[in-house]
Amino acid sequence: MLSGLELLTSPSWRDYELLDSGGGRKLERFGPHIFVRPEHQAVWQRTLPEARWQAAQGVFEPGGGDEMGGKWQFRQKVAPAWEMTYGALRFKAQMSTSRHMGVFPEQAAHWEWMAERIRTANGPVNVLNLFGYTGLATLACAAAGAKVTHVDASKKAVGWARENQALSALGERPIRWIVDDALKFVLRENRRRVSYDAIVLDPPKFGRGPKGEIWDCLQMLPELLAACRAVLSPRPLFVVLTAYAIRASAASLYFALQEMTAGLGGSAAAGELATIEKSAGRVLSNAIFARWRSA
């Protein structure tokens, strides 16, 4: 039974800072650049003076019916791409047509947790990373010693992830890069009798596969979790599930994951991934998660 929700933060960042927030926006530093992005959970007043906000190099202005739609406005020149680091990981950040930069800083709490599970495992670990995006979770697991299969429907994202692999000097690590629909891939792996010791899932709210397959998280997550259970090894190590911008709670993810891992023993936890604001110490929730680990 779920006894309480955890609030996970990532205090070890050097190349990222949440400088301030408020009025539905957040002021952030990604490496050498300062940006303003929308943040509907920032329901309080800003702490830093307006001049600090006006000094941001780029501002993402939301627009249209799509909550992710909008465009960037630039007050100063911004490099097309730049390098960032987290611990031993090196990766490329860049602005895109969306508000995202290629890294979700709050996810670092998962990277460290998974790496520790892998380093202390009794034997080799085979990890499946679904919706792997630019590959930072994949690289964290690979750096810790795991063999990783990275799956994403976007060829561009997988190419970006492979660039990050080279930047992190992990080119010799055993990583399979797959451009495919997540559910279709897992179902095929089951037919091939391939199994994994750990699974990482970071599904979008909505999405499309490489052949136009429709992904709706709330409708399709139960089927995907059932398929993932079928490819878990007899003695799995962990499962991590993260979700953004969906009409569900961390408790919902917890019970979905509890159903998926029924009979495996171990323990599960759920909560929120969050960022601590530098200006006033407020905690900004970024995503909900649930994760299971073996005993």
* pTM confidence score: 0.94
The percent of residues in the chain predicted with pLDDT above 70, rounded, is 97
pLDDT of residue 1: 67
CATH of region 12-80: 2.60.40.1180
Neighbouring CB atoms inside 10 A of 231's CB total: 21
Q: Is residue 67 pLDDT above 60, yes or no? A: no
Q: Between vectors from CA 10 to CA 15 and to CA 151, what angle results, nearest 5°?
A: 85
Average model confidence (pLDDT) for the chain?
Answer: 94
Burial (0-12, 13-18, 19+ Cβ within 10 Å), 117: buried
Asked whether residue 65 carries a pLDDT value surpassing 60, the answer given is no
Confidence of residue 176 (pLDDT cuts 50, 70, 90): very high
For residue 253, give both structure tokens. Answer: 């993810």
> What would the mean pLDDT of 168-178 be, rounded to a whole number?
98
What letter represents residue 145's amino acid? G
Radius of gyration of the chain (CA): 19
pLDDT digits (tens, 9 = 90+) for 118-150: 999 999 999 999 999 999 999 999 999 999 999
The residue extents of the domains of the chain are: 12-80, 86-91+101-293
Nearest CA to 119 among 137, 141, 98, 150? 141
Residue 203 CA to residue 187 CA, distance in Å, equals 16
Task: Give the model's pLDDT for residue 250.
Answer: 95
Backbone region of residue 291 per phi and psi (left: phi > 0; alpha: psi in -120 to 50; beta: other values): beta
pLDDT in the model for residue 206: 72
Q: Is 86-91+101-293 assigned to CATH 3.40.50.150?
A: yes
Q: What is the pLDDT of residues 224-274, one digit of tens each?
A: 999 999 999 999 999 999 999 888 899 999 999 999 999 999 999 999 999
pLDDT at 205 > cutoff 90: no
* Model pLDDT, residue 104: 97
Taking alpha carbons only, the member of 210, 91, 108 closest to residue 162 is 91
Residue 7: C-alpha distances to residues 106, 176, 181, 203, 276 (Å):
11, 32, 31, 20, 11
pLDDT at 123: 94
Tokens 């399709």 -> residue: 220
Q: Which two tokens stand for residue 39?
A: 């943040």
Task: Tell me the H-state helices in the chain.
Answer: 50-54, 108-119, 136-143, 155-167, 182-191, 217-230, 250-260
**Taking 80 as the threshold, does the pLDDT of residue 99 lie above it?**
yes
CA 142 to chain CA mean position, Å: 16
